[in-house]
Amino acid sequence: MSFGSRLTAARQAYGPLCVGIDPHASLLEEWGVGDSFEGLERFAEACVEAFAGHVGVVKPQSAFFERFGSRGVAVLEWLLQQFRHTGTLTVLDVKRGDIDSTATAYAQAYLDDDAPMAADAVTVSPFLGFGSLEPFFAEAERNDAGVFVLALTSNKEGPEFQRATVADGRTVAGSVLAQLAALNAGASPLGSYGAVVGATIGEAGENLAINGPLLVPGLGAQGGTVEDLRRLFGGVWDQIVPSSSRGILRAGPDPVALRASAQQVNAQLVSS
């Protein structure tokens, strides 16, 4: 099954929520496990127990694992492997972007089904030009994986590039969204190539109907509300994957409490 098909099935089975797996130093201390490699291991184990087979999507942020060096990367590899075949999809948040053979190597590292760090999807940056992402799309096609391209992010610096206009008068974000829509044309029930659109951007001002998933970070602790999601994404509600990390993870370290926190947010999204 394509990533778009698997994502549709996961949303139907568990709800639209994506849990961000972000082991911030402050969070590890708050959990009482310590900002250490041992604390990272305990964090990862709790997240797998809490969320595998209970939420549709998780999104590990690679940087928070990488800061512990090779041992931290090994924990990330373990975590990704533990979620495989559980019904919970993984979106590895690495925001990579490069050209030619380097982009191909990144794509193989994260999207090749046999790679140690294989995920169901990956986040990428189009700053070097949308065409530079072709190796990611090609690798995703070979492995029934997904790609999420940064389009309209919530950080205050984002509009400097994303709202700038290109030669045909469209914004950079609008151009990215239009090219994703072209890649997803004809896909059913949903294309596999998505966009990252923040929950706190205020107004989209662009056509978000790309026939592909919209990864929406910023729900919860970053200020995004379910009402914001309805206002921004009402016309494409069945395509969004709202992501919350700290708002859910603060319920830890007890896996039962973590799972209940995620299920509560999912219930709010489904009933809204």
Active-site option among 59, 95, 96, 259 = 95
Look up 59 and say whether it is catalytic.
no
- What stretch of H or E contains 243? strand 240-244
Q: Are 146 and 213 in contact (CB under 8 A)?
A: yes
Q: Report phi then psi at 185, rounded to 5.
A: -55, 130
CA distance 219 to 217: 6
For β-strands 18-21 and 57-60, DSSP reports them as: parallel
Residue with tokens 């389009």: 151
For residue 35, what are its two tokens?
A: 């900002």
CA distance 33 to 40: 8
Q: Are 199 and 229 in contact (CB under 8 A)?
A: yes
CA distance 19 to 256: 15
Longest dimension (CA), the chain: 54
Beta bridge partners of 122: 92, 147
In the chain, the amino acid numbered 208 is: L
Quick one: 253 exposed, middle or buried, by C-beta within 10 A (0-12, 13-18, 19+)?
Answer: buried
CA distance 265 to 242: 10
CA distance 272 to 20: 21
Return the active site residues. 95
